[in-house]
Structure 1
Amino acid sequence: MRFDFTDLNLFRHIVEAGSITHGAERSNLALAAASTRIRKMELSFGTELLVRGRAGVTPTQAGRTLLQHARGILAQSEKLQEDLSPYARGLAGQVRVLSNTNALTEFLPETLSSFLTSYPDISVDLEERLSDEIVGLIAEGTGDIGIVAGTVDIGGLDTFPYRSDRFVLVVPRGHPLAGRDRIGFAEVLDYDMVGLDRASAIQRFLAEKATRAGRALRLRVQLRSFDAICRLVECNVGVGIVPETTVKRAARTMAIAAVRLTDPWALRELHICVRDISALPPYARQLVDHLRANV
C-alpha cells in the first residue's frame, strides 16, 4: 500500500470540490497526473474511492473512510510544519485564518496588511472556505481564527462581531432590472450570470441555493474576483452577485447599478470565531484583537 501526503491532499481537495478537475487545480497538479494518482490509490487499496458521474464525483463508503483519516493525517502534518516553520524562517509565530469569500475579498486585505506591518515576526496563512466548513475546522483545531457569516450555527466556539455587508445583484446601468429597488434570488436565476470560479466558496454557496430552488445557475463566465465580475457585467455579459461594498467602489468608474436581494442570507453579519480565545497562542490573540479593533 503506497501513498503520500500529495495523494491524501489531492483526494481531500477532489472530494471537497466535487470534481477531479477542480481538486487537481487546488492541488496544483495537472488533470492527467491527478487522475493517475487516484487510480493508483484505488488499485493500492483494492477498492473504488470515488463514484464518477456527469455532475462530478462523490466518495464511496471507502472514500469517506479515507477522507476522514486523510484529514487527520494532513492536519497533524500541517500542525507539525506550522510549529517548526517559525524556527526555520526566524518568525515568532504563524496564524492560520479561515475566511468566507466576502470577508476575504472586502475586509481582510487592508486589516492583515496593517497587522503584518505592526508585527513583522508573525506570518498569516489565509484560506478561503464556506462558513459552515470554517466552523467545523475551527472546532477541530485545524484553523486558529475563522471569519464566518452570522447565519451559520457557531456551536460552542468563542465569537466576536466583525463586519456587516450585503450581497446585491449587480447589473449594467441600461439593464431592465437596473430600475428595480429589490429582487429575489429565484428571479435572478432567469438571467445569464457572471460569477466566481465554481470551486470558490461563495459560488458553491450560490449553486446550492439555486439547487434548493430547483434551478441551476446560468453561468457564462467564471472569474477570480468580484471586481472582475463587475467589469464583465458592465460589458453586458450577464448579471452578478457581489458584496454591496464592491459595487459602491466599482460604480465610481463603471456603468453598473446594484439591486438589493430580498433573501435573508443576502445580509452578511460577519463574526470572528475561535475554538477558545484563552487557549490561543499570544500572537494569534494579537491578530484577534487587531481584527476587533479595525471594524
Structure 2
Amino acid sequence: MNRYDLTDLRIFLAVAEEGNLSRGARRCHLAPSSVSLRLKGLEDAIGVPLLERQARGVALTRAGTVMLEHVRRCLSQLEQMHVDLQPFVQGLTGHLTLFANNNVIHSHLPDDLARFFQAFPSVRVTLEERLGTDIVAAVAEGRADLGVVAVEPAHPGLRFIPYREDRFVVLAPPDSAPARAQKPLRFVDCFGQPFISLQNGTALHTYLMNQAAALGGRLDVRVQVSGYRAIARLAASGAGIGIVPQSALEAADKERLAVLALDERWAARHHQVCVRPEALASNRFLRALVGVLCPGDAKSDTRSSSLRSESECRR
C-alpha cells in the first residue's frame, strides 16, 4: 500500500518547481533535512526515483516528470474542491445545475442569470455547455436541474417552456461570392468556402459537422476560434465565412461584413427551458430561476416566485 500524504506531494511539487531542495524547503517552511527525508519516503512509497540529485540542485527523472503533472492536477482539484465548498461555509442556501447550448450561454443567459443573482445572491449555479440531445437526457435523468435547448420537445417526462427565439445567419466578407449573390444561402453553399468555426468539442461545431455529414459533404475549416466575436472579425477581414446566432451580432457587424440568411429549417432556433415537473414543484429556487427565464409562462407558479427575494423564500 502506498503510504504518503498531501504534505509529501506539496513538498515534491515545491522542490520540482524550484529545481533545488533548499529553495523548495524554504517555500514549504521546513528544514532541508526534513524535506529530504520526506522525498525519500515518497520515492520508496511510489517505488521509483523521482528526482536526481545534482551538484547545483535536483532534476526530474522521467517518472518524476509524469508524477509532477499528476501532482499538479491533484492539488489543483483539491483547491477547486475547497473553492466549491466555500459557499456552503458562507451560508449557501441552494445550488442548481443548468445545461445549455453555446448560443444562449453567450447571448441571453448572462443577463437573465444576473437578475436571478440579484434576488438570490447565495444560490450557486453550475452552468455547462452541452448539445441539445445531451441536455434533454441529463435533465430527464436528474443530472441537471434544468436545461435550455433548441430541439423538438420529444421527452414525455419533461416540461418544455418557450424561452427565446433566435436564428443562425452566415457571416461573409463583403466582397465574397456569397455576399455578391445577395440571397439566402443553403448550407451546402458553404461547403466550397473557407470556413471559420468554433473549436472542437463546442456544441455548435459538433452540430454543424453533423449537419454537413448528413448531407454527404464537409466544411473546409480554415481556422477554429474560441468565440463568436472572433468569427465576425475574421469574416470581416476576408478569412472566410462563418455561421453564428443572430443574437451574437453587434451593430457594427452589419457595416463590416455581409449578414446572410441561412435557408435551412434548423436555422430557426426556438429555445426552450426543459425541466422535470416534480423538481419544479419541490424546489423553490428552481421555480424562481424558471420564473426569471420564462416570466410569461402562465401555466406555472414561477412568475410570483421569481419576484420574491431570497429572504422571503426562506420563510
TM-score after normalising by structure 1: 0.68
**How far did 1:148 drift?**
0.2
- Who is 1:60 aligned against? none
- Who is 2:189 aligned against? 187
Gaps of 5+ in 1: 1-31, 38-77
| Counterparts of 2:250 and 2:192, CA distance in 1 | 25
Does the 8 Å CA contact 1:86/1:94 hold for their aligned counterparts? no
- The DSSP-based 3-state class of the residue aligned with 2:99 is strand
Corresponding position: 1:243 with 2:245: yes
What amino acid does structure 1 have at the position aligned with 2:288? Q
What amino acid does structure 1 have at the position aligned with 2:134? E
Deviation readout 1:67-93 (Å, 9 max, x if unpaired)? xxxxxxxxxxx9xx99x7753342111
Distance 1:203 1:293, change over 3 A: same
| Counterparts of 1:152 and 1:274, CA distance in 2 | 11
- Who is 2:214 aligned against? 212
**How far did 1:241 drift?**
0.2
- Who is 2:202 aligned against? 200
Does the 8 Å CA contact 1:144/1:280 hold for their aligned counterparts? no
| Counterparts of 2:210 and 2:101, CA distance in 1 | 15
- The DSSP-based 3-state class of the residue aligned with 2:206 is helix
Distance 1:169 1:281, change over 3 A: same
Correspondence 1:255-266 to 2 at 5 A: 255-266=256-267
**How far did 1:248 drift?**
4.8
Deviation readout 1:53-111 (Å, 9 max, x if unpaired)? xxxxxxxxxxxxxxxxxxxxxxxxx9xx99x7753342111111100111111110111
- Who is 2:56 aligned against? none
Does the 8 Å CA contact 1:86/1:93 hold for their aligned counterparts? no
- The DSSP-based 3-state class of the residue aligned with 2:106 is helix
What amino acid does structure 1 have at the position aligned with 2:169? V
Does the 8 Å CA contact 1:106/1:245 hold for their aligned counterparts? yes
| Counterparts of 1:154 and 1:190, CA distance in 2 | 37
Does the 8 Å CA contact 2:116/2:289 hold for their aligned counterparts? yes
Deviation readout 1:88-135 (Å, 9 max, x if unpaired)? 342111111100111111110111112112211111110000001100
**How far did 1:293 drift?**
2.3
| Counterparts of 2:176 and 2:212, CA distance in 1 | 22
Corresponding position: 1:105 with 2:106: yes
- Who is 1:288 aligned against? 290
CA RMSD, Structure 1 to Structure 2 (Å): 2.8
Correspondence 1:113-262 to 2 at 5 A: 113-151=114-152, 153-179=154-180, 180-251=182-253, 255-262=256-263
Distance 1:243 1:221, change over 3 A: same
- The DSSP-based 3-state class of the residue aligned with 1:259 is strand
**How far did 1:178 drift?**
1.4
What amino acid does structure 1 have at the position aligned with 2:239? V
- Who is 1:8 aligned against? none
Give the length in aligned residue pairs.
Answer: 221
Deviation readout 1:186-235 (Å, 9 max, x if unpaired)? 11111111011111011000000111111222111111111111011111
Does the 8 Å CA contact 2:106/2:248 hold for their aligned counterparts? no
| Counterparts of 1:185 and 1:107, CA distance in 2 | 25
Deviates more, 1:185-194 or 1:88-97: 88-97
Does the 8 Å CA contact 2:193/2:240 hold for their aligned counterparts? yes
**How far did 1:279 drift?**
3.8
Distance 1:280 1:192, change over 3 A: farther
Distance 1:155 1:256, change over 3 A: farther
Task: Give me the identity figure in percent.
Answer: 33
| Counterparts of 1:156 and 1:207, CA distance in 2 | 30
| Counterparts of 1:154 and 1:230, CA distance in 2 | 36
What amino acid does structure 2 have at the position aligned with 1:203? H
Does the 8 Å CA contact 2:133/2:151 hold for their aligned counterparts? no
- The DSSP-based 3-state class of the residue aligned with 1:106 is coil
TM-score after normalising by structure 2: 0.64
| Counterparts of 1:280 and 1:105, CA distance in 2 | 29
What amino acid does structure 2 have at the position aligned with 1:109? P
Query: Which has the higher relative contact order, 1 or 2, with Cα contacts under 8 A spaced 6 or more apart?
Result: 1
Does the 8 Å CA contact 1:247/1:258 hold for their aligned counterparts? no
